[in-house]
Protein backbone atom coordinates (compact mmCIF):
# COMPACT_ATOMS: atom_id res chain seq x y z
CA UNK A 1 0.00 0.00 0.00
CA UNK A 2 1.58 3.18 -1.17
CA UNK A 3 -0.14 6.51 -0.85
CA UNK A 4 1.08 9.96 -1.79
CA UNK A 5 3.65 8.60 -4.26
CA UNK A 6 3.33 11.86 -6.15
CA UNK A 7 4.28 14.10 -3.21
CA UNK A 8 8.04 13.87 -3.79
CA UNK A 9 7.69 14.87 -7.45
CA UNK A 10 5.19 17.57 -6.62
CA UNK A 11 7.45 19.12 -3.97
CA UNK A 12 10.40 19.06 -6.36
CA UNK A 13 8.32 20.84 -8.98
CA UNK A 14 7.20 23.48 -6.52
CA UNK A 15 10.75 24.24 -5.47
CA UNK A 16 12.30 24.26 -8.96
CA UNK A 17 12.03 26.78 -11.78
CA UNK A 18 8.84 26.67 -13.88
CA UNK A 19 8.97 24.24 -16.80
CA UNK A 20 7.16 26.67 -19.08
CA UNK A 21 8.47 29.89 -20.60
CA UNK A 22 6.85 33.27 -20.44
CA UNK A 23 5.78 33.48 -24.08
CA UNK A 24 5.57 36.00 -25.83
CA UNK A 25 7.83 38.02 -23.50
CA UNK A 26 10.40 35.29 -23.88
CA UNK A 27 10.91 33.92 -27.38
CA UNK A 28 9.61 30.44 -28.16
CA UNK A 29 12.30 27.82 -28.41
CA UNK A 30 13.38 26.65 -31.83
CA UNK A 31 16.23 24.77 -33.38
CA UNK A 32 18.35 25.59 -36.44
CA UNK A 33 16.35 23.12 -38.54
CA UNK A 34 12.87 23.91 -37.24
CA UNK A 35 10.34 24.11 -40.05
CA UNK A 36 8.73 27.54 -39.77
CA UNK A 37 7.71 28.90 -43.14
CA UNK A 38 8.90 28.81 -46.73
CA UNK A 39 10.73 31.82 -48.15
CA UNK A 40 11.38 32.40 -51.81
CA UNK A 41 14.33 34.22 -53.30
CA UNK A 42 13.03 35.87 -56.46
CA UNK A 43 16.48 36.59 -57.82
CA UNK A 44 17.25 32.87 -58.17
CA UNK A 45 13.90 31.39 -59.25
CA UNK A 46 14.04 29.95 -62.76
CA UNK A 47 10.22 29.46 -62.98
CA UNK A 48 10.52 25.71 -63.50
CA UNK A 49 7.31 25.10 -61.47
CA UNK A 50 8.60 21.87 -59.93
CA UNK A 51 7.57 23.18 -56.52
CA UNK A 52 4.00 23.62 -57.80
CA UNK A 53 3.86 20.01 -58.95
CA UNK A 54 5.51 18.57 -55.86
CA UNK A 55 3.41 20.46 -53.33
CA UNK A 56 1.12 17.93 -51.63
CA UNK A 57 -1.23 20.68 -50.45
CA UNK A 58 -1.34 22.57 -53.77
CA UNK A 59 -0.47 25.77 -51.93
CA UNK A 60 1.85 27.23 -54.55
CA UNK A 61 0.83 29.06 -57.72
CA UNK A 62 3.41 30.19 -60.21
CA UNK A 63 2.58 32.66 -62.94
CA UNK A 64 5.25 32.69 -65.62
CA UNK A 65 3.71 35.63 -67.51
CA UNK A 66 3.28 37.91 -64.50
CA UNK A 67 6.54 36.66 -62.97
CA UNK A 68 5.03 35.99 -59.60
CA UNK A 69 5.34 33.13 -57.15
CA UNK A 70 2.43 32.87 -54.77
CA UNK A 71 1.99 30.80 -51.66
CA UNK A 72 -1.16 30.28 -49.67
CA UNK A 73 0.10 30.12 -46.10
CA UNK A 74 -3.14 28.57 -44.91
CA UNK A 75 -2.87 25.68 -47.33
CA UNK A 76 0.86 25.13 -46.85
CA UNK A 77 1.59 22.25 -44.50
CA UNK A 78 5.29 23.15 -44.14
CA UNK A 79 6.47 19.75 -45.30
CA UNK A 80 9.74 20.93 -46.83
CA UNK A 81 8.93 19.15 -50.12
CA UNK A 82 9.39 22.24 -52.30
CA UNK A 83 12.64 23.20 -50.58
CA UNK A 84 14.03 19.70 -51.16
CA UNK A 85 13.11 19.54 -54.82
CA UNK A 86 13.94 23.09 -55.95
CA UNK A 87 16.71 22.76 -58.58
CA UNK A 88 17.73 26.43 -58.36
CA UNK A 89 17.85 26.38 -54.54
CA UNK A 90 15.77 29.55 -54.41
CA UNK A 91 13.46 28.22 -51.72
CA UNK A 92 14.48 27.96 -48.11
CA UNK A 93 12.89 27.14 -44.81
CA UNK A 94 12.80 29.89 -42.22
CA UNK A 95 12.68 28.80 -38.58
CA UNK A 96 10.09 31.41 -37.63
CA UNK A 97 6.48 30.22 -37.61
CA UNK A 98 3.99 32.16 -39.70
CA UNK A 99 2.46 35.01 -37.76
CA UNK A 100 -1.20 34.65 -36.83
CA UNK A 101 -3.62 36.44 -39.14
CA UNK A 102 -7.28 37.40 -39.09
CA UNK A 103 -7.88 36.89 -42.81
CA UNK A 104 -6.73 34.12 -45.11
CA UNK A 105 -4.47 35.63 -47.68
CA UNK A 106 -2.01 34.73 -50.37
CA UNK A 107 1.56 35.91 -50.13
CA UNK A 108 3.12 36.97 -53.43
CA UNK A 109 6.80 37.03 -54.31
CA UNK A 110 8.08 38.64 -57.51
CA UNK A 111 10.54 36.78 -59.66
CA UNK A 112 13.39 39.05 -60.69
CA UNK A 113 15.60 36.37 -62.13
CA UNK A 114 16.82 37.08 -65.64
CA UNK A 115 18.15 34.20 -67.68
CA UNK A 116 21.83 34.85 -68.38
CA UNK A 117 22.68 34.92 -72.05
CA UNK A 118 24.55 31.64 -72.14
CA UNK A 119 24.76 30.83 -75.86
CA UNK A 120 26.74 33.94 -76.62
CA UNK A 121 29.39 33.04 -74.07
CA UNK A 122 29.86 29.67 -75.76
CA UNK A 123 30.47 31.20 -79.10
CA UNK A 124 33.21 33.50 -77.89
CA UNK A 125 35.92 30.87 -77.27
CA UNK A 126 35.29 29.38 -80.72
CA UNK A 127 35.96 32.57 -82.58
CA distance 7 to 73: 46
**Cα-based angle 118, 121, 127 (whole degrees, multiple of 5):** 145
**Cβ atoms of 70 and 61 closer than 8 Å:** yes
CA distance 72 to 19: 35
Pairing of strands 106-110, 37-40: unpaired
Segment lying near other proteins (by CB under 8 A), choices 66-74, 79-87, 101-109, 110-118: 79-87
Residue 31 touches other proteins, criterion: CB under 8 A = yes
Residue 35 touches other proteins, criterion: CB under 8 A = yes
Residue 99 touches other proteins, criterion: CB under 8 A = no
Segment lying near other proteins (by CB under 8 A), choices 33-41, 63-71, 102-110, 114-122: 33-41
CB of 65 to other proteins, least distance (A): 15
Residue 25, CA atoms < 13 Å, CB-side half-sphere: 3
CB of 64 to other proteins, least distance (A): 13
Q: Which residues of this protein are in contact with other proteins, per CB under 8 A?
A: 1-6, 8-10, 13, 19, 29-31, 33-35, 52-56, 77-81, 84, 93
Amino acid sequence: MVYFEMVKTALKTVLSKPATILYPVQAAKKTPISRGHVVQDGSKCISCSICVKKCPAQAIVLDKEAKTWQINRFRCVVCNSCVDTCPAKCLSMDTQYTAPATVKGIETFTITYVKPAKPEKKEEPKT
